[in-house]
């Protein structure tokens, strides 16, 4: 007798594998998930060993467990007791390791200004796979940030990621899958939240301007009647994942009751006969390989969606009621793709408006009735490029083939309060039963990354991150930033497994040998291949590494060269119209040229302000990439150098908002580090725009050029005149400044400098993006001008490939100029951390009950500015109210004062303006502040290289009360026995007058007690008052009153910001005595150079 074979019904025709029905598949899947969860629970995670991931794909009839290290006894027991075969694969690292690294990547992306599309954590433990929403330049910024941080796990970064959100039934809103407005979204599952009946949906369904109330939908699409619910949950941030969880809760309004049921029939707008309802009888964590359904209001029930990846993070554009779009970073989701079968050829996983809708294991959980579902998650987003699809009413909307959903466990745990948030489920045989399900304390399952799909439209990107491109304007090959249209190719198959590539930007161009035989794609390890023709391979030589600019040639094949190793990056939805191969008459067939002999190298430093940075250009890179492409014809080795990396990652010294003097204050270290052989200088725009010391601007420009020449006589400089401005008053100042530049340059040429000038007169106001910054066309003209300047340097023989840079004379640290850094006026010196832009975080000094120091974090008390740097900031009480004021000292000693009224958020800072005009006779690094007069106001002191000191006493104007300086002449004559950089001022005697201290290299200190100064009582030489130590240096020594007894204590500030104190416990008369207090501050993580006390 022959056994009968079960036949698939029409609705089960697309069930995968050898399952005969979806009911059978979901039963098997449920049992697999139980074993998968048990395996995950046996992780152990001891000594870095344990669970990496598990695949529970029912059609495979087995579980695949990825494990790092030795299996734990619990894992072995779970495998032995499993009714499902378990295959164990070795993993290089655990899920815990990758999970810990994932939020660190997200934080690095935040810091680098990179928008992450998604972070995928592979279930095989191989590493993290990150997709950024921007171009290859953004991806490269993140790669470099990750490499510099050293996370300890592999992190691959690709560009071009895209996430679509806002995927919405006019039906009963008391069930999951109902449509709600405004905007259009869906409901998910009934829950208990805060002890009350509520409804789950998505966080991004509540953009700004739409409020928290939600309505069902009327016949014309309008909000229907009073609100059925209102959002009651705040946005849920996950510090662990470094992102928000896309979940929200609606309360009950106007008689609403939420039921443990979801709509599973046709979508909103379909007739009632097409709608059906299923009870929610359970909730389970999803796992990799599972099949799910979703029933958002706009799509209705869509099944045969397979989970293909675990997504640690993804970004979404959220549009508010005004049309303004902001980017949100969400974390914790699953990527799932609609499967295509003969009976279900649809590729649509979700539509706009499905957001917030229910994701579940389908009605097969109860094989008898087929009327129940198991909650699995909430629809969050569509992944990848959307496409146009029809709506119910004959219109169109956007659809996606792949969706992201938040696992039900992740959603509920994010909402947990004192009591867990629970899904409300019922019994499949008694609908009156209500049971809660929660996942408190459980970690989500893991999954592998999504594998790229084959696509004819590709980019060829080298291992160096440069895309091979065709420049139809120049008629030759190029290397560009990946993602640009010029780098798009369509693969065309040739006989013998060879390939040709058709340019999307110029369809007549075919990249292949002239005999149209194609090229070989030879494997070169991992995901890379070589683009080979005979013994030659395509090569992209790096010209501007950070910005991914390259030069395309054919050279002898060497698979070890990263420049010859390419990967195919699919472009997704190719082109809007199909691209046909060119006819024989139209076809242009060629390969990149044979590699030329190398030329001289260039190390170019673009130096200036926001115009050098590139503000106003569409890529915020300005003239740099344009100039690099032009320079490709003149040199085989080009580097752009500098401490800054912005937008496309190019190195440079373009500092937004900076003036000439700010470059002067920082140029020395930049030259020492970068060693440029060419400097492109465009500076002065902010001086002119702000009318800042315009009369001395040409002299300051000359002094900056002199600094460059002093440090590196072999460095050649191209000085540019300023680009135009639209405001007449500013342009008048620009004209005067520009007229002075030729004389400045001619004078330096006569003195043997390697310098030339270029004019920016070709730019007009039509070439500006705003009142000051060029647009793309303007930056093109700047690139051409600088190219001409470099050509002049080359013709004159002034470009030397290798140069030496001498350090400029050291400047006195700004910290030596502080005096009594007491922010709150309690007599105790406080601990301040000054950021690079002058922003200040304060830790006030209070005393514990036992008299020891206690620090209280006050947060940021000053926001800083783009108008100065942290090294220019000093602290001293010039107002006479016992509170240290915020002072900004310019390179010529001019000083602006912000009087302390309590600091940001506590009374603010009163801008006093300039209290010192500075002088050409001294520089800002020689300025100190100290109260030498004993009147409770810090005075303005100039310390000469030999320690001689000139004082300007600080007084108040009799009428206005404004700060006023009175010249006292030289009050200390200095000595040949010491230098000015060893001089400190602090009151060690307790008489309210700052004493003159000499600090040796080992911290030994000699004191001259203030008796009134030269000609006014003199200085009493007290000899050596501190013996110093081999454990610290004089540069680490500070003097400040930490005990509040009016005597300055001796402090040692370590490189990590930790402070050791020796309290000044001297008697009113007699020798100075120091008492070791040990470490009084452990530091904040900021370096000691940024600490003020």
CATH code of the domain containing 119: 3.30.1340
Burial 682-703 (b: 16+ CB within 10 A, else e): bbbbbbbbeebbbebbbebbbb
Burial of 26 (0-12, 13-18, 19+ CB in 10 A): buried
In DSSP terms, 50 is beta-bridged to 68
> Is the preceding omega at residue 910 within 30 degrees of 0, hence cis?
no
**If we measure between CA atoms, which residue out of 706, 707, 699 comes closest to residue 748?**
706
Q: DSSP character for 134?
A: S
Residue 144 resides in a domain: yes
| Positive or negative torsion for Cα 1072, 1078, 1082, 1087 | positive
- Provide the CB-side half-sphere exposure for 137 (13 A, CA): 20
What pLDDT does 542 receive? 65
Boundaries of domain holding 327:
163-433
With beta carbons less than 8 A apart as the criterion, state whether 118 and 94 touch: no
| Number of other residues whose CB lies within 10 A of the CB of residue 540 | 33
Residue 546 resides in a domain: yes
What pLDDT does 812 receive? 44
| Positive or negative torsion for Cα 796, 802, 807, 813 | positive
Separation between Cα atoms, residue 227 and residue 440, nearest integer Å: 31
Verdict on whether the full-model pTM lies above 0.75: no
**If we measure between CA atoms, which residue out of 340, 577, 571 comes closest to residue 455?**
571
Asked whether residue 955 falls in the same domain as residue 1019, the answer is yes
Asked whether residue 353 falls in the same domain as residue 494, the answer is no
Asked whether residue 85 falls in the same domain as residue 123, the answer is no
Domain count within the chain: 6
Tell me the CATH number at 583: 2.80.10.50
Residue 32 resides in a domain: yes
With beta carbons less than 8 A apart as the criterion, state whether 941 and 985 touch: yes
Asked whether residue 651 falls in the same domain as residue 762, the answer is yes
Residue 909 resides in a domain: yes
Asked whether residue 967 falls in the same domain as residue 1076, the answer is yes
Asked whether residue 841 falls in the same domain as residue 866, the answer is yes
Residue 1 resides in a domain: no
Asked whether residue 262 falls in the same domain as residue 411, the answer is yes
Q: What is the CA radius of gyration of the chain?
A: 35
- Beta strand 277-283 pairing with 261-263: antiparallel
What pLDDT does 407 receive? 95
Residue 726 resides in a domain: yes
Asked whether residue 141 falls in the same domain as residue 177, the answer is no
Q: DSSP character for 975?
A: -
Asked whether residue 955 falls in the same domain as residue 1040, the answer is yes
Residue 1075 resides in a domain: yes
What pLDDT does 10 receive? 61
Residue 442 resides in a domain: no
Q: How far is CA 47 from CA 54, 123, 512, 896, 977, in A?
A: 20, 19, 54, 57, 60
What pLDDT does 242 receive? 63
State pLDDT tens for residues 2-52. 333 455 666 666 677 778 777 777 777 777 777 776 677 665 544 446 888
Q: Which of 68, 90, 112 is the last residue of a domain?
A: 90
Separation between Cα atoms, residue 772 and residue 740, nearest integer Å: 20
Q: List, run by run, the mean pLDDT of 10-residue segments along the chain (1093 residues).
A: 47 74 74 72 56 83 87 82 85 83 77 77 87 84 86 87 51 79 89 93 87 80 80 81 85 89 76 74 91 90 88 70 67 87 84 92 48 91 74 71 92 86 83 82 56 56 83 80 76 88 89 90 78 89 53 82 78 42 72 63 93 89 84 74 74 89 84 93 94 85 90 94 95 95 91 93 91 92 89 84 72 60 92 86 84 86 83 91 92 90 80 89 89 92 93 84 87 90 91 92 91 80 90 89 92 87 82 90 80 90
Asked whether residue 423 falls in the same domain as residue 274, the answer is yes
Tell me the CATH number at 725: 3.40.50.1110
| Number of other residues whose CB lies within 10 A of the CB of residue 582 | 17
Phi, psi of 687 (to 5 degrees): -60, -45
DSSP letters for 1039-1053: EE-SSSSSSPEEEEE
Please state at what angle helix 624-631 crosses helix 776-795, rounded to 10 degrees: 40
Long-range CB pairs of 231-237 (<8 Å, 24+ gap) are 231/206, 232/193, 232/194, 232/198, 233/193, 233/415, 235/203, 236/203, 236/414, 236/415
Tell me the CATH number at 883: 2.130.10
Asked whether residue 555 falls in the same domain as residue 662, the answer is no
What pLDDT does 448 receive? 40
Phi, psi of 720 (to 5 degrees): -105, 140
What pLDDT does 1047 receive? 92
Asked whether residue 137 falls in the same domain as residue 255, the answer is no
Separation between Cα atoms, residue 306 and residue 622, nearest integer Å: 45
Separation between Cα atoms, residue 1046 and residue 1049, nearest integer Å: 9
What pLDDT does 1 receive? 28
The SS3 assignment for 850 reads coil
State pLDDT tens for residues 809-821. 544 444 566 778 9
Burial of 418 (0-12, 13-18, 19+ CB in 10 A): exposed
**If we measure between CA atoms, which residue out of 276, 292, 317 comes closest to residue 33?**
292
What pLDDT does 984 receive? 94
State pLDDT tens for residues 271-329. 665 677 888 999 999 998 899 999 998 888 898 999 988 877 676 767 766 666 665 76
């Amino acid at each position: 007798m022959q056994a009968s074979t079960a036949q698939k019904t029409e609705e089960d025709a697309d069930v995968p594998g050898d399952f005969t029905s979806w009911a059978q598949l979901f039963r098997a899947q449920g049992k697999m998930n139980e074993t998968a969860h048990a395996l995950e629970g046996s992780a152990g995670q001891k000594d870095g060993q344990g669970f990496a991931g598990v695949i529970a794909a029912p059609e495979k009839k087995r579980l695949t467990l990825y494990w790092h290290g030795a299996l734990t006894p619990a894992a072995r027991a779970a495998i032995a007791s499993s009714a499902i075969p378990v295959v164990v694969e070795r993993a290089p690292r655990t899920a815990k390791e990758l999970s810990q690294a994932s939020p660190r990547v997200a934080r690095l992306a935040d810091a680098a200004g990179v928008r992450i599309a998604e972070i995928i954590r592979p279930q095989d433990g191989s590493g993290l796979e990150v997709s950024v929403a921007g171009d290859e330049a953004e991806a490269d910024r993140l790669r470099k940030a990750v490499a510099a941080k050293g996370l300890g796990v592999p992190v691959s970064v690709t560009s071009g990621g895209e996430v679509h959100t806002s995927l919405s039934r006019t039906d009963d809103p008391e069930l999951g899958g109902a449509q709600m407005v405004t905007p259009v979204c869906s409901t998910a599952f009934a829950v208990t939240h805060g002890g009350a009946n509520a409804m789950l949906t998505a966080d991004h369904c509540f953009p700004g301007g739409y409020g928290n109330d939600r309505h069902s939908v009327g016949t014309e699409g309008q909000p229907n009647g009073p609100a059925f619910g209102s959002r009651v949950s705040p946005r849920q941030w996950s510090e662990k994942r470094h992102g928000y969880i896309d979940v929200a809760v609606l309360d009950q309004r106007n008689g609403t009751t939420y039921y443990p049921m979801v709509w599973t029939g046709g979508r909103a707008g379909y007739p009632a006969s097409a709608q059906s309802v299923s009870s929610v009888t359970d909730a389970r964590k999803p796992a990799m390989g599972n099949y799910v359904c979703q029933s958002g209001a706009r799509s209705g029930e869509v099944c045969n969606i397979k989970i293909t990846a675990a997504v640690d993070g993804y970004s979404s554009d959220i549009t508010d009621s005004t049309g303004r779009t902001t980017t949100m970073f969400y974390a914790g989701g699953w990527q799932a793709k609609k499967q295509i079968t003969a009976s279900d050829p649809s590729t649509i996983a979700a539509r706009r408006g499905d957001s917030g809708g229910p994701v579940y294991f389908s009605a097969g959980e109860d094989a008898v009735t087929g009327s129940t579902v198991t909650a699995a998650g909430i629809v969050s987003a569509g992944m990848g490029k959307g496409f146009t699809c029809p709506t119910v009413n004959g219109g169109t909307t956007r659809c996606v083939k792949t969706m992201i959903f938040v696992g039900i466990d992740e959603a509920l745990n994010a909402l947990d309060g004192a009591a867990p948030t629970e899904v409300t489920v019922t019994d499949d045989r008694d609908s009156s039963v209500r049971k809660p399900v929660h996942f408190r304390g459980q970690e989500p399952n893991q999954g592998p990354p999504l594998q790229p799909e084959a696509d004819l439209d590709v980019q060829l990107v080298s291992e160096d991150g440069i895309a091979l491109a065709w420049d139809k304007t120049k008629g030759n090959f190029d290397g560009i930033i990946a993602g640009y249209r010029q780098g798009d190719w369509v693969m065309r198959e040739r006989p013998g497994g060879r390939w040709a590539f058709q340019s999307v930007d110029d369809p007549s161009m075919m990249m292949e040998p002239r005999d149209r035989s194609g090229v070989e794609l030879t494997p070169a390890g991992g995901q890379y291949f070589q683009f080979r023709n005979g013994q030659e391979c395509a090569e992209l030589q790096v010209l501007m590494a950070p910005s991914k600019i390259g030069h395309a040639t054919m050279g002898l094949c060497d698979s070890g060269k990263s420049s010859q190793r390419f990967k195919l990056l699919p472009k997704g939805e190719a082109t809007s119209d199909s691209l046909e191969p060119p006819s024989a008459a139209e076809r242009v067939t060629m390969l990149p040229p044979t590699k030329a002999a190398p030329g001289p190298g260039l190390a170019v430093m673009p130096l200036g302000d926001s115009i050098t940075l590139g503000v106003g250009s569409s890529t915020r890179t300005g003239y740099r990439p344009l100039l690099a492409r032009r320079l490709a014809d003149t040199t085989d080795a080009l580097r752009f150098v500098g401490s800054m990396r912005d937008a496309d990652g190019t190195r440079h010294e373009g500092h937004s908002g900076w003036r000439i003097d700010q470059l002067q204050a920082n140029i020395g270290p930049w030259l020492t580090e970068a060693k440029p052989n060419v400097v492109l200088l465009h500076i002065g725009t902010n001086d002119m725009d702000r009318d800042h010391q315009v009369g001395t601007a040409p002299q300051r420009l000359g002094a900056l050029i002199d600094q460059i020449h002093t440090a590196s006589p072999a460095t050649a400089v191209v000085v540019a005149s300023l680009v135009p401005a639209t405001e007449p008053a500013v342009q008048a100042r620009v004209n005067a400044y520009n007229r002075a530049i030729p004389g400045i340059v001619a004078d330096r040429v006569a003195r043997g400098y390697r310098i030339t000038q270029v004019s920016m007169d070709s730019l007009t106001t039509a070439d500006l993006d705003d009142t000051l910054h060029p647009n793309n066309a303007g930056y093109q003209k700047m690139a051409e001008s600088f190219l001409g300047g470099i050509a002049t340097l080359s013709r004159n023989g002034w470009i030397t490939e290798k140069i030496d840079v001498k350090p400029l004379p050291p400047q006195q640290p700004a910290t030596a100029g502080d005096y009594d850094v007491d922010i709150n006026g309690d007599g105790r010196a406080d601990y301040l951390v000054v950021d690079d832009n002058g922003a200040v975080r304060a830790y006030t000094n209070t005393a514990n009950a036992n008299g020891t120091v206690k620090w209280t974090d006050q947060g940021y008390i000053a926001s800083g500015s783009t108008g100065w740097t942290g090294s220019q900031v000093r602290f001293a009480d010039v107002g006479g109210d016992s509170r240290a004021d915020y002072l900004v000292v310019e390179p010529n000693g001019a000083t602006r004062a912000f009087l302390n009224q309590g600091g940001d958020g506590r009374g603010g800072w009163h801008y006093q303006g300039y209290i010192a005009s500075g002088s050409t006779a001294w520089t800002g690094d020689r300025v100190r502040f100290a109260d030498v007069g004993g009147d409770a106001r810090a005075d303005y002191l100039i310390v000469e290289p030999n320690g001689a000191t000139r004082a300007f006493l600080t007084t108040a104007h009799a009428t206005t009360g404004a700060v006023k300086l009175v010249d006292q002449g030289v009050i200390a004559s200095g000595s040949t026995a010491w230098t000015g950089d060893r001089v400190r001022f602090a009151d060690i005697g307790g008489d309210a007058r700052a004493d003159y201290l000499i600090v040796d290299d080992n911290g030994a200190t000699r004191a001259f007690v203030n008796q009134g100064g030269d000609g006014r009582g003199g200085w009493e030489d007290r000899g050596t008052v501190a013996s110093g130590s081999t454990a610290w240096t004089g540069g680490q020594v500070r003097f400040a009153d930490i005990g509040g007894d009016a005597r300055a204590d001796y402090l040692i500030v370590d490189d990590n910001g930790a402070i050791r104190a020796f309290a000044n416990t001297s008697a009113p008369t007699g020798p100075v005595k120091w008492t070791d207090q040990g470490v009084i501050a452990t530091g904040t993580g900021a370096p000691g150079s940024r600490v003020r006390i």
